[in-house]
Amino acid sequence: MRIFDPHIHMSSRTTDDYEAMYAAGVRAIVEPAFWLGQPRTSVGSFVDYFQSLLGWERFRASQFGIRHHCTIALNPKEANDPGLRTEVLSILPRFLAKDGVVAVGEVGYDSATPDEDAAFEEQVAMGQEHRLPLLVHTPHRDKAAGTRRSIDLLRAAGVPGEMAVIDHNNELTVEDTLDSGYWAGFSVYPDTKMDVDRMVRILQQYGTDRILVNSAADWGRSDPLRVRKVADAMTAAGFDADDVDKVVWRNPVEFFGRSGRLELDEPAPDAAATFAGNSILRGAPAGS
């Protein structure tokens, strides 16, 4: 089984996670730009972070046989500092032009403030200029209203349905999202957002078209194997192999393939390889 996790924050994960993901069938991932867990205080910290997504993390994933892609954006959580927002948005175009960047994201809402509106609108325009899809974050609070507000903004900007995925959906938002013509993303967590059984019921009710299932695993309580667990639960519920492959492989390939930058060949691990003079090894190999 081939698995493509279309939203996972591997900068927060360990090499054990990479090994477990490969063993579970994960062969490709998208890592969206994320917030730090505490406020960043300078544009330089964003520069270093974006460069790490395009460099070190891409290299690290390749050493475990996994093809790494990323999305670049100012996360809505960090859009409420006007001075920093202006600086970060000014540097985004040079990163959006890079190989390996397959969408603008995560954009959208956290608290649905005017500052977030401004950052969302400007980054939607950047996505259109660079002909990149958009990965849209929906707020944790009042999600239904935030989802509708996101759809309204995308429509007003003239974003076609095939060029945006509304992420972090649940039972209260999925119908609005799919009816809008945009893609629907679901983050399957151990305790919150969406669980495996609920995800299967949504697939039974709404089908497999325009649906992305992801782990959104990060530095919090999360599970980088959730996409595989959804695939197994789909099989147990009676979905055939083609349906499963569509959800966990072909759908993310179709959506992010619109960037023209997907690389789906399996990299050959070489533990002795280095990036900027650093390898994934610590010390000399055993027995040397």
pLDDT tens for the 288 residues of the chain, in order: 999 999 999 999 999 999 999 999 999 999 999 998 898 999 999 999 999 999 999 999 999 999 999 999 999 999 999 999 999 999 999 999 999 999 999 999 999 999 999 999 999 999 999 999 999 999 888 899 999 999 999 999 999 999 999 999 999 999 999 999 999 999 999 877 789 999 999 999 999 999 999 999 999 999 999 999 999 999 999 999 999 999 999 999 999 999 999 999 999 998 789 999 888 887 655 554
Domain that holds residue 165: 3-259
Note whether residue 170 is domain-resident. yes
Shortest CA distance to 236 belongs to which of 265, 284, 200? 200
Number of compact structural domains in the chain = 1
Note whether residue 270 is domain-resident. no
Note whether residue 275 is domain-resident. no
CATH number at residue 250: 3.20.20.140
pTM of the model: 0.95
Q: Which amino acid is at 216?
A: A
